Structure 1
Amino acid sequence: MRQTTDISENNQQKPGKSRLQVVLLFIGIIMIAMTLRAPITSVGPLIEIIRNDTGMSHTLVGLLTTFPLLAFALLSPVAPKIARKWGIERTLFVGVFAVTAGIVLRYLPSITSLFAGTILLGLGIALSNVLLPSLIKRDFPNKVGVMMGTYSVSMNIFAALASGISFPLAQYSSTGWRGSLVMWGILSFVALMIWLPQLRSIQHEAPNVQISAKSNVWRSKLAWQVTIVMGLQSFIFYSVVAWLPEILTQRGMSSSTAGWMLSLMQFFSVPVTFVVPILAARFKNQRGLILATFACFILGLGVLLTGSRSLVPLAVIPIGIGTGAAFGLVTMFFVLRSRSVNQSAELSGMAQSIGYLLAAAGPLLFGFVHDLTNSWTSAIVLLIVASVIYMLAGLGAGSNRFIGEENNKKTSVS
């Protein structure tokens, strides 16, 4: 028997939230979600400008996307422990503050501050990445699918906007690419202010954010399958976000159009990031959804391999659908494959720690393979191989089981 204190059980003993409190919590979650990808996806369309301005190599500039992922990997496993001491609400506040500070730091005219700010915002995003799904499981237990879908949609809409407008902002702003990157600090600052009312409940809720005394997620085959799915879908997404504009510009497309192609990819991910979590919550298992996302990856990457500029939309649309569906699906695994809020946080921390460590290799390895072969073909093939492994691990992660109960015959997803 697991010796855990379930947050949801403790939460049920307290008076319910008022309608206004629920509305403010909902808005706060959505606002934080908006800040989780935009500071990263805004970099991809600016890589060529940044390289020309700083003289950095493809491999080095790829670290601007890799470092946040390394920060995710470093902080994710300890995020639940931080929440145990500070409370989920306060920990999320600190995370958004770190994002804002990191964005401002990137504006300073120094390569050192550029990378330092990138690492800091990555650490801030890591806290929200891990804790928001657990917060949703705790405070919206009967609407997990809809809330996770809304959370994912909010994240991806602003990720797409950041990709689409970062280059025009840099082109027409007197502050150039640094000014384009710092604009997203306004969004995170607004999120910070909107989250302030949630700090009032810290004193009562912090003690309930506990970690299982005898966690078994690290010894669970199912947890490792979820982790591999998390890592490889992020590996594919961040590699494409970092390098697609560069691939397209080298094929003769303008930088502005290339940026909008990346934006188009992410806009097509938006509806599926809402629909897939709802479907995942209703299906007995999610293997069919795994196979569907795999098919999207193979189709999009296969078309991208042809090198045809006229077929680029036919490549980015299925990739966008696949990445959106895969992200919405794996975040639902944090909820569907766990019994309690505590276990959900542990699984989320593990999957995002190891998963983002794997994902961090994506942009760096992608750029390295290009520099080594002077061709994008081998790099794209690398993503196809990652897609196959994603599918194999996903078939296990999508089965109707719970962490620590893989050998039980009678398990069900409620």
Structure 2
Amino acid sequence: MRNNTNPGGVDRSSRRLLLLFGVFLIAMNLRAPFTGVAPLLDMLKATFDLNAAQAGLLITLPLLAFSIVSPFAASLATRFGLERTLMMSLIIIAGGIFVRSSGSGIGLYIGTAIIGGGIAIGNVLLPSILKRDFPERVASLTAAYVLVMGCTAAGLSTLAVPFAHMENSDWRLALAASVLLPILAALAWLPQLRSSGPTTMSNKKAAGQGRIWHSPLAWQVTLFLGLDCFLYYVGVSWLPAILRDASFTEAQAGSMHGVLLLSTALPGLVLIPLAPRMKDQRHAACLLALSIMIGLMGLHILPSLAVLWIVFFGFGAGGGLILALSFVSLRTVNASDAAALSGMSQCIGYLLAATGPTLVGSIHDASGGWGTPLIVCAALSIAMAVVGLLAGRNVQVTLDVASRPVRVR
């Protein structure tokens, strides 16, 4: 009689599927808990008598938290292990959601900042998990989890206002409902804490994390992510105002904002099958940045076709994020280096993103319209295309010996 021919292989395959399921559930928590606030801003402004700047801070605070916390995520993973640190990020997100939903104005802001800190850890470390456990499928899996991330954010944003207006409900329950996301992810992640596989990262990371800041290739990846995030959050913040100035109604502007969120998820459907066939990502990075430019200039020149231009913009920005996160793994040789590059790129990238809405708003106020801000952002998308041609090369930075790129064969 014959026993199972390869029980160890079956068990390993099951563990990888369970790990991947956990990765996707964690990804569901990396945008939705803070982007879901945007549809409720008018309600929050009325409740707490907030002005526009104070309300906008609820969107900016998580981005600042991303920038501040990201450089420390790799150190936490080195000390506690990738799996345990990711579980910690879910606990922090859940705690922040409870604080934000407490009903007080102070709790609203403190909870939002806590959520941003938890998301920052997950943002940095998910690419390291993919680099360590799925090195042969980094690009396609990154596209898949960004697709999950975008769809969850769009879904929660769509449900937030109807949920808040349900009988016996309000904005607090609408915001608190998102706590189900980190709870479900934490339950699915529990088996990874008992995993017999590698759970920690090399201590060589500490030296590499310092050298990463001296690598031209690391800066190219960082600037690509930073410019993409800058343009994306400018669009998320100001698109309704741009459309209202172009004679669209408030309801139409709100619907098109939802189109923007959905269109940022669309590139995942293209890049999941396409990514494994790419020898490098130069052309994809350039084309996605030019898609952003077409969307911005279209809104400036022919705003009556706004839906078309929004899809161009969203597709380019969403695809740019997928490529930028893929670069973190594709441009490094191991999980430790990936965590170091992820921390650097997201620190600078989200700092740029946090300044974007305010800076572009100031240009609008100074120029008296949206023409100049749109042209400035279109010029930045061209710069993003140039940077993408450099970051998309098939080379890797090695931090164990020197911070110079090595061509991948």
TM-score by length of 2: 0.88
Which residue number corresponds to residue 90 of structure 2?
96
2:217 equivalent to 1:199 = no
Tell me the matched-pair count: 397
2:102 equivalent to 1:108 = yes
2:320 equivalent to 1:326 = yes
Which residue number corresponds to residue 270 of structure 1?
265
* Candidates 198, 207, 210, aligned match of 2:203: 210
Which residue number corresponds to residue 220 of structure 1?
215
Q: Distance in 1 between matches of 2:21 and 2:58?
A: 30
Give the direction of change, closer, same or farther, for the CA distance of 1:284–1:53 in structure 2 (3 Å limit).
Answer: same
Which aligned pairs between 1:16-27 and structure 2 lie closer than 5 A?
18-27=12-21
Which aligned pairs between 1:22-41 and structure 2 lie closer than 5 A?
22-41=16-35
Which aligned pairs between 1:141-160 and structure 2 lie closer than 5 A?
141-160=135-154
Q: Distance in 2 between matches of 1:317 and 1:305?
A: 15
Which residue number corresponds to residue 357 of structure 1?
351
Which residue number corresponds to residue 184 of structure 1?
178
Return the offset for 1:158: 0.9
Give the direction of change, closer, same or farther, for the CA distance of 1:351–1:15 in structure 2 (3 Å limit).
Answer: farther
2:209 equivalent to 1:233 = no
Return the offset for 1:24: 1.8
Q: Distance in 2 between matches of 1:114 and 1:372?
A: 32
Farther off after superposition, 122-131 or 270-279: 270-279
Q: Distance in 2 between matches of 1:176 and 1:373?
A: 39
CA contact (8 A) 1:96 1:192 kept: yes
Three-state SS of the structure 1 residue aligned to 2:194 is: helix
Return the offset for 1:140: 1.5
* Candidates 340, 343, 350, aligned match of 1:346: 340
CA contact (8 A) 1:338 1:344 kept: yes
CA contact (8 A) 2:290 2:381 kept: no
TM-score by length of 1: 0.87
Q: Distance in 1 between matches of 2:277 and 2:212?
A: 24
Three-state SS of the structure 1 residue aligned to 2:136 is: coil
Give the direction of change, closer, same or farther, for the CA distance of 1:116–1:329 in structure 2 (3 Å limit).
Answer: same
CA contact (8 A) 1:63 1:364 kept: no
CA contact (8 A) 1:274 1:328 kept: no
Q: Distance in 2 between matches of 1:323 and 1:374?
A: 26
Return the offset for 1:265: 1.9
Which residue number corresponds to residue 408 of structure 2?
412
Unaligned runs of 5+ in 1: 1-13
Deviations 1:216-257 (A, max 9, x none): 311111100110111111111122223323443565545554
Return the offset for 1:101: 1.5
Give the direction of change, closer, same or farther, for the CA distance of 1:368–1:62 in structure 2 (3 Å limit).
Answer: farther
* Candidates 391, 397, 400, aligned match of 1:397: 391
Give the direction of change, closer, same or farther, for the CA distance of 1:233–1:80 in structure 2 (3 Å limit).
Answer: same
Unaligned runs of 5+ in 2: 1-7
AA partner of residue 144 (structure 2)? T
2:382 equivalent to 1:388 = yes
2:121 equivalent to 1:127 = yes
Which residue number corresponds to residue 3 of structure 2?
none
Which residue number corresponds to residue 243 of structure 2?
248
Return the offset for 1:82: 0.2
Q: Distance in 2 between matches of 1:57 and 1:391?
A: 37
Deviations 1:253-303 (A, max 9, x none): 455543332222232232312433654443232221122112211111122
Q: Distance in 2 between matches of 1:394 and 1:33?
A: 24
